[in-house]
Amino acid sequence: MKGRSRVTKSIVYLLVVAIGLGVSCAAEEVIKYDVHDITRDRPRVMTAPRRLGQPPADAIVLFDGTDLSEWVSDENGGGPARWKVENGYMEVVKETGDIRTKKAFGNCQLHIEWATPRKVSPKETGQKRGNSGVFFMGKYELQVLDSYENETYADGQAGSIYGQYPPLVNASRKPGQWQSYDVSFLHPIFGKSGKCIRPARITVFHNGVVVQNNVEIKGATAHKVKAKYSPHDDKLPLSLQDHNNPMRFRNIWIRELPEQPYLIKD
């Protein structure tokens, strides 16, 4: 019993110190359960997909190849999305604008497949070739680009967090071939003063290869602008970019993920 009371005292001491250091969430997470604590909640059971890339049982399907019912235009006050749907994919119609999801998302896992145009005109180089983007919360762009033997700046090629982090490797397939992104994303958290107290984080697999490994996003992505945060809601729509190239997308699904309190330093 003496041992147990010493442990309890140590935990209380740790808590006081931890709170004093402003890492209460982290401390709580670490000491709430003992090792192999039998009272700890078991993870819920979920039916896994039969094949990698298929939506798991709890996924929200954003596009199954049939219609754009989960999407609206990001322009003109959110009217109908004007991209075309055929042969199981959606395709950007030039100058119809970005599209965004009707639902809002924060922490999430996303699967999306995309293809750049098979025909490459010699005039289309760098950022003009197969450009689009997946904007988490409409603000943080995971670049989509034809980066197969196509030179551009490193933090603007496929798999980059635009203007911030180049991909770890270039895992691009040839123009016209289907490619995939699998992403886990944590939304930024803002304190009462509006200051960002937990930057957004992102991990990206491009065609099954890790290209972003839990990086901290520095703020909203933009062209030739240093990224910075402005406070916003914990959930916002996801958007896809119209960059004037007939990019194709298919098999898009998303899963909402819980918060990870030990990553918040308040």
SS3 content of the chain, % helix, strand, coil (to 5): 15, 30, 60
What is the distance between the terminal CA atoms of the chain, rounded to a whole angstrom? 35
Nearer to Mg ion, 46 or 222 (CB): 222
* C-alpha to C-alpha distance for 158 and 148, rounded to whole angstroms: 9
Are the beta carbons of 94 and 83 closer than 8 angstroms?
no
Question: Min. distance of Cβ 163 from Mg ion in angstroms?
Answer: 10
**Can you say whether residue 191 is alpha, beta or left, with left for phi > 0 and alpha for psi between -120 and 50 degrees?**
beta
How many CB atoms within 10 Å of residue 239?
22
Q: Which is nearer to Mg ion, 131 or 157 (CB)?
A: 131
**Residue showing the smallest CB distance to Mg ion in the complex:** 133
**What burial class does residue 185 get, using C-beta atoms within 10 Å of its C-beta: 0-12 exposed, 13-18 middle, 19+ buried?**
buried
Nearer to Mg ion, 147 or 241 (CB): 241
Q: How many CB atoms lie within 10 A of CB 195?
A: 9
**Which CB, 157 or 241, lies closer to Mg ion?**
241
CA pair distance 84, 194, nearest whole angstrom: 39
Contact positions toward Mg ion, by CB under 5 A? 131, 133, 241
Q: Report the nearest approach of Mg ion to the CB of residue 182 (Å).
A: 19
| 14 three-state secondary structure | helix
Of 49 and 117, the one with the shorter C-beta distance to Mg ion is: 117
Q: How near is the Cβ of 86 to Mg ion at its closest, in Å?
A: 23
Closest CB 225 distance from Mg ion, rounded Å? 14
DSSP classification of residue 260: -
Task: State in angstroms the smallest separation of the CB of 8 from Mg ion.
Answer: 55
131/189 with CB nearer Mg ion: 131
Residue with tokens 């003063």: 193
What is the closest distance, in whole angstroms, from the C-beta atom of residue 239 to Mg ion in the complex?
11
